[in-house]
Structure 1
Amino acid sequence: MGSERRAPWARERGAEPWWERWLARPAGRLPWASTLAVAGLQQVGSHYAALNQPDRAPLDSFARVLLAAGPAFLLLRHRHPSLAVFGTCFVTALYLGGGYPYGPVFASVAVSCFTAVVAGRRRAVWCAVGLLWAGHLLIAHLLYPWLPPGGDGPASWGAEWAPAAWAVALVSAAEFVRVRREQWAHARAERAAQERRRADEERLRIARELHDVLAHSISVINVQAGVGLALIDSHPEQARAALTTIKAASKEALGEVRQVLDTLRTPGDAPRSPAPGLDRLQELTRQAAAAGLHVQVTAEGPRTALPPGADLAAFRIVQEALTNIVRHSGSRTAEVRLRYGPDALEVTVDDEGPALAGTDTDTGTSTRTSTSTRTGRGTVTGGGNGLVGMRERAAALGGTAEAGPRPEGGFRVRARLPFTSSRKETS
């Protein structure tokens, strides 16, 4: 069943359950519902608690006001947690000083302390709870002769450990929730960062694909258009052949661009056609021949089936290298060498040059005279998008890509694409 029809209580892998998201949610409007619930608990619970404590002072109007004032501070517990915890503790101390029955009067103190600790106000909680406990000790053991109810005696010291243990347990539980809340926030931030990284990587991948497809095809179209314009009057049949090549190159470019766009429109679906690989190398050589470039392809070593990532990267690197030769080199011949090793494929594309006068349309600088710079795992020459794309494709597989002038003249593109890392990525 698709995610859009998943039950609302179902949880995905790596996501926290609904109660964790509820605890981690930021403060919004005033918490009226929970505050009224605590107020009702204190009013009703204290009424029934007074029935079993006839030795305590009866609940009068002032006691009812105190039982309502404590929960009233809870409305501020998200925006001003320190004020809420000190306010509830002060109201509770007044209630205890009036000699009223023990009962759920401590509920507002518990809620405010819990919220303040989760918000990181631990010092305020310990100070407020400590003052409340100290006030209770003064009332129960020193000030009881002058406070209601009349005839009351000192409280037992042994009974003081129970409320102290409850206070420590409450603060400890709140501290645990605070730590878990920070962990959930950190995990959500990491998932968001991973999603942004995946989106950036996908955007760069699409940009590389579109650049390689369009740069190669438009270069062929540009050359053939120039041939057609030059021969349209004197040799119309040759001009017709150039137009035929333009039509074929534009059709192929449209097909590959449509394939890339389909992956954007239907995320998660498999592409309708397989990604290009070295099995389409003959198409590149035919297109290069139509542009006036003779390409010789040689293979060394036993040919093995390449992983999809390495196969696509090798095809795109050869395609970009031939495109650069057509656009920037005066040579009309190129040599492509594929060396199949036990753990990697080495791709080398050479041309004899010399460089044509002009600049790279990608960057506005000559790609034939630029210097080599080392970045990341490989060496790449120039700042053109195509040459940078070669490095990125090779680096994504754990390989290297180099491009630069040859000692004997001309230009060379060399890439090493390992098999192991690409198999891990595509598995």
Structure 2
Amino acid sequence: MRPADLYTVDALLAVAVGGLLCPYAALESPLHGGVREPLWVSVLVGLALGLPLAVRRRWPMTVAAVISSVATVALVTGVIPNFAAAAPALAIGLSFYTVAVSTPTRRSMLCAAGCLALVSVALVLTAGDLWSRTGAVVYAAVMVAPAWVIGWLIRERRALAVRQSDHLVRQAATEERLRVARELHDVVAHTLSLIVVKAAVANHVAEADPREAGAALRVIEQTGRTALTDVRRVLGVLREDSPYAPTPGLDELPVLARQAAIGGVDVQLDVRREEPAGAVPESVGLAVYRIVQEAVTNVVKHAAPAACRATVTVLPDEVRVEVTDDGQRPVLLGGEGHGLIGMRERVALHGGEFRAGPRADGGFAVTASLPYRVAA
């Protein structure tokens, strides 16, 4: 609800309470006799009790103090008989609710306790015996205190919702940073591996075979341009006004296999589709591409020259990936590298399973399954 609408509601509430209920209560005569006040006094007291509710959201504690003080004076002087205390109690309860909703707990509790004490004293002074006085205090607490409790609960619930929203925002930002970091790692690691391999070739044959060195440098140039395009695409996602190329997926796997051949790895790619093209979600296709890319890059870095086989099977409800090689890799003493961690995170993001490790007959194997749901 807009602020203007809230102030309109408060104004109508003030008119109803201050123009009808409280003046009606003030016009009531005491049960045991007493001086009847003039009509204008009753109306004025009723307006003084109800009209401050129109600005209760702007000055909640001031409004609560004013209404409680007026109610106390009205009850002590008999302008409002104690049996008609429900009307001022309604005005006080509304002000207490606003105090609890809009004011920190400690301040609102002190304000509510002070105002409630004033009203309780007034009821006690106008009551008869001890039993009536005790009942008057209980009556005041039952009529007024629940409004503060309800307001406090709503304030706490809103604060909890804000904290949860902030947590979700921070979590989304963290996940986005991790996603961008994974993308950049996959792009840079794959590209630099090929560049290093071809740079070593160019350096080795620079004098003996300038043509071969030139070919290696052209590969480095092409690979670098491709990497720059991928980096711009990844960073362009962070800017809504920045156009970027489509994300790579299953259709780009043959290009990936040809790039790996430049690094000395013969990749035999086998893509088996049981679902029509376009059925696999883009996020799953990107994850499959990056997993194959990282697995092949690891072969280039750690096992080249070697033979590598990449099998991608697209089933109706999941995509299975298996990348194996027959190369010899050094033993990693520091646990998994960033590449394996990134692949494991991608698979976990889609609720799949991931395994990576040495094969019994030599070489290394990476397997993953990524479930997906076809859009209706």
Q: TM-score, normalised by structure 2?
A: 0.71
Structure-to-structure mapping, 1:120-269, within 5 angstroms: 120=105, 125=112, 129=116, 132-139=119-126, 141=128, 168=142, 170-266=144-240
Relative distance call for 1:101 and 1:393 in structure 2 (3 A) is closer
Q: Which residue of 2 aligns with 1:401?
A: 354
Partner of 2:238, secondary structure, is helix
1:113 aligns with 2:113: no
Residues 254 and 269 in structure 2, CA contact (< 8 A), matched pair in contact too: no
Residues 337 and 349 in structure 1, CA contact (< 8 A), matched pair in contact too: yes
Q: Deviations over 1:70-91 (max 9, x none)?
A: x9xx9xx87xx7x997897578
Q: Which residue of 1 aligns with 2:244?
A: 272
Q: Which residue of 1 aligns with 2:332?
A: 369
1:390 aligns with 2:373: no
Relative distance call for 1:133 and 1:250 in structure 2 (3 A) is same
In 1: Cα distance, 2:336 partner to 2:168 partner:
28
Q: Which residue of 2 aligns with 1:376?
A: none
Q: Which residue of 1 aligns with 2:284?
A: 310
In 2: Cα distance, 1:107 partner to 1:341 partner:
66
Query: What's the offset of the Cα at 1:108?
Result: 8.8
Query: What's the offset of the Cα at 1:338?
Result: 2.1
Residues 237 and 244 in structure 2, CA contact (< 8 A), matched pair in contact too: no
Partner of 1:346, secondary structure, is strand
Q: Which residue of 1 aligns with 2:312?
A: 338
In 1: Cα distance, 2:163 partner to 2:225 partner:
44
Q: Which residue of 2 aligns with 1:30?
A: none
Aligned length: 337
Q: Deviations over 1:239-265 (max 9, x none)?
A: 010011001100111111111121112
Structure with the higher fraction of residues in helix conformation: 2
AA of the residue aligned to 1:350: T
Query: What's the offset of the Cα at 1:94?
Result: 5.8
Relative distance call for 1:310 and 1:90 in structure 2 (3 A) is closer
In 2: Cα distance, 1:289 partner to 1:128 partner:
83
Q: Deviations over 1:110-148 (max 9, x none)?
A: 576344544556698478536634533434658xxxxxx
In 1: Cα distance, 2:212 partner to 2:189 partner:
24
Residues 199 and 216 in structure 2, CA contact (< 8 A), matched pair in contact too: yes
In 2: Cα distance, 1:277 partner to 1:93 partner:
76
Q: Give 5+ residue unaligned stretches, structure 2.
A: 41-47
Query: What's the offset of the Cα at 1:315?
Result: 0.8
Relative distance call for 1:229 and 1:20 in structure 2 (3 A) is farther
Partner of 2:267, secondary structure, is strand
Relative distance call for 1:186 and 1:105 in structure 2 (3 A) is closer
Q: Give 5+ residue unaligned stretches, structure 1.
A: 1-16, 24-33, 60-66, 143-156, 357-367, 372-381
Q: Which residue of 1 aligns with 2:269?
A: 297
Residues 76 and 125 in structure 2, CA contact (< 8 A), matched pair in contact too: no
Relative distance call for 1:385 and 1:174 in structure 2 (3 A) is same
Please, which moves more after superposition, 121-130 or 300-309? 121-130
Partner of 2:237, secondary structure, is helix
In 1: Cα distance, 2:199 partner to 2:341 partner:
28
Query: What's the offset of the Cα at 1:331?
Result: 3.7
Query: What's the offset of the Cα at 1:399?
Result: 0.8
Residues 93 and 147 in structure 2, CA contact (< 8 A), matched pair in contact too: no
Structure-to-structure mapping, 1:25-44, within 5 angstroms: none
Residues 213 and 257 in structure 1, CA contact (< 8 A), matched pair in contact too: yes
Please, which moves more after superposition, 326-335 or 168-177? 168-177
Relative distance call for 1:114 and 1:334 in structure 2 (3 A) is closer
Residues 331 and 352 in structure 1, CA contact (< 8 A), matched pair in contact too: no
In 1: Cα distance, 2:262 partner to 2:5 partner:
62
Query: What's the offset of the Cα at 1:301?
Result: 6.2
Residues 73 and 122 in structure 2, CA contact (< 8 A), matched pair in contact too: no
AA of the residue aligned to 2:213: A
Partner of 2:244, secondary structure, is coil
Q: TM-score, normalised by structure 1?
A: 0.63
In 1: Cα distance, 2:316 partner to 2:73 partner:
84
Residues 354 and 410 in structure 1, CA contact (< 8 A), matched pair in contact too: yes
In 2: Cα distance, 1:417 partner to 1:232 partner:
45
